[in-house]
Amino acid sequence: MTAGEVRALARECGFELAGVAEALPLPELSRYHDWVARGMAGQMRYLTDRRAAVRDDPRNLLPEARSIVCVGKLYNTPQPLSTGFSDIERGWISRYAWGDDYHVSMRAGLERLRARVEAAAGKPIRSKICVDTAPLLERSYARLAGLGWIGKNTCLIHQGAGSWFFLGELLVSIEIAPDRPPPDRCGTCRRCIDACPTAAIVPVPQAGRWEVDSRLCISYLTIELAGAIPDQQRAGVGPHIFGCDICQDVCPWNRRAPVSTDPAFAGRHFAPPLERLAAIGESEFRHMFRGTPVTRARYRGFLRNVAVAMGNARREAFRRPLEKLAAHDDPLVAEHARWALER
């Protein structure tokens, strides 16, 4: 079986990008461990606990693995970019979370691909499906598989289609001739670096490259961080209530990015009104965002984010809903609402 045949099978399964990498440890593995050692992962313990060592070798996930089939699923939608959105009464949700939870659709597509690869191989194979929750450095393997290069914002960028892609992998026990990584085409561009409100894209000393300090990233602050958002970062969060797209919105390679026709990624709750969100109860939150990635922030974290966005909007109309949040039973929500009232 060739990588070209794998790409054809992947297209049949709904993936716009596909390629093959060897199931071997990555040459740049030390960069990951260095990034973790410097505390850049923040409170994301799944990146720093025992699973960090599992990421050293894909054969820790499937001992028989010989090749990694890497796929990309387009999720771009026609709604406006966050950088062109100015309605201060609404909160911004990252584009990837507007529709259904991608884990479900990605896994379903990879299940179909697994069946097709096994049929094409003409014999039973051992395999394992990974969709970002597995301890695998998937962007690096996707680069080796030819899906794109890693940009300064650490997103995988495809020359013709940009960076609005979900990634997934199929580890297989058969050898497939690997693809080659494309050249880095970011050049001297630094639009993502300059546009980041919290300066989360930082230089690596003496290395001539850039990385993301998660502790400063709006996506980390609004999704992964369980406790209080540091005071000095709250203003930079702006209207964001779940994730951030700014570094992708300003990327020149996304100017002509294609739009997905998959209804699963159509916006259910595109930029919902902040005042409405401040008033929802926990059961309504679960119902409103059921089946989407937004529930990852959990109810208390979501209300925390809503309060910060209201404070950053500085609208007098938000005083009453913020006063109610300031009396919330949860100390985390109440403290952020008090901060917002001071604004």
Residue 66 within any structural domain of the chain? yes
What is the spatial order of strands in the sheet that 67-74 belongs to?
A: 17-22, 67-74, 165-172, 127-130
Percent of the chain past pLDDT 90, that is, above it, reads 90
Question: Distance (Å, rounded) from C-alpha 333 to C-alpha 226?
Answer: 12
CA 55 to chain centre: 18
**Which residues have a Cβ under 8 Å from the Cβ of 312 and sit 6 or more positions away?**
234, 235, 237, 238, 239, 340, 343
Residue 265 within any structural domain of the chain? yes
Choose the final residue of a domain: 137, 172, 207.
172
Query: Contact 231/82 with Cβ under 8 angstroms?
Result: no
Residue 183 within any structural domain of the chain? no
Residue 186 within any structural domain of the chain? no
Does 53 have pLDDT greater than 90? no
Same domain, 111 and 196: no
3-state secondary structure of 115: helix
Alpha-carbon torsion (200, 203, 204, 208), positive or negative: positive
Residue 296: per-residue pLDDT? 95
By DSSP bridging, strand 156-157 and strand 165-172 are unpaired
Residue 52: per-residue pLDDT? 81
Residue 157: per-residue pLDDT? 98
Residue 182 within any structural domain of the chain? no
HEC secondary structure over 44-69: CHHHCCCHHHHCCCHHHCCCCCCEEE
Residue 239: per-residue pLDDT? 97
Same domain, 167 and 214: no
Does 79 have pLDDT greater than 80? no
Length of the chain as a residue count: 343
In tens, the pLDDT along 192-225 reads 999 999 999 999 988 889 999 999 999 999 999 9
Residue 208 within any structural domain of the chain? yes
Residue 50 tokens, joined: 């025992």
In tens, the pLDDT along 229-247 reads 999 999 999 999 999 999 9
| Average pLDDT for the chain | 95
| 132 catalytic residue (yes or no) | yes
3-state secondary structure of 318: helix
Does 89 have pLDDT greater than 90? yes
Q: Once rounded to an integer, what is the mean pLDDT over residues 68-97?
A: 93
In tens, the pLDDT along 2-42 reads 999 999 999 999 999 999 999 999 999 999 999 999 999 99
Of 132, 184, 262, 330, the catalytic one is: 132
Residue 120 within any structural domain of the chain? yes
Residue 288: per-residue pLDDT? 95
Residue 272: per-residue pLDDT? 95
Same domain, 278 and 213: yes
Does 78 have pLDDT greater than 90? no
**Which residues have a Cβ under 8 Å from the Cβ of 209 and sit 6 or more positions away?**
152, 203
Question: Distance (Å, rounded) from C-alpha 341 to C-alpha 321?
Answer: 10
Question: Distance (Å, rounded) from C-alpha 45 to C-alpha 146?
Answer: 30
Same domain, 16 and 159: yes
Same domain, 20 and 60: yes
Alpha-carbon torsion (254, 195, 272, 221), positive or negative: positive
Residue range of the domain that includes 34: 3-77+97-172
In tens, the pLDDT along 146-184 reads 999 999 999 999 999 999 999 999 999 999 999 999 999
Same domain, 111 and 202: no
Residue 207: per-residue pLDDT? 85
By DSSP bridging, strand 149-150 and strand 17-22 are unpaired
Q: How many CB atoms lie within 10 A of CB 127?
A: 21
CA 108 to chain centre: 19
Query: Contact 233/306 with Cβ under 8 angstroms?
Result: no
Query: pTM of the full predicted structure?
Result: 0.94
Percent of the chain past pLDDT 70, that is, above it, reads 100
Same domain, 13 and 61: yes
In tens, the pLDDT along 284-293 reads 999 999 999 9
- The number of distinct structural domains making up the chain is 2
Same domain, 168 and 30: yes
Residue 273 within any structural domain of the chain? yes
Q: Out of 113-122, 225-234, 259-268, which region has the weakest mean confidence (pLDDT)?
A: 259-268
In tens, the pLDDT along 301-335 reads 999 999 999 999 999 999 999 999 999 999 999 99
Same domain, 58 and 207: no
> Where on the phi/psi map is residue 315: left (φ > 0), alpha (ψ -120 to 50), or beta?
beta
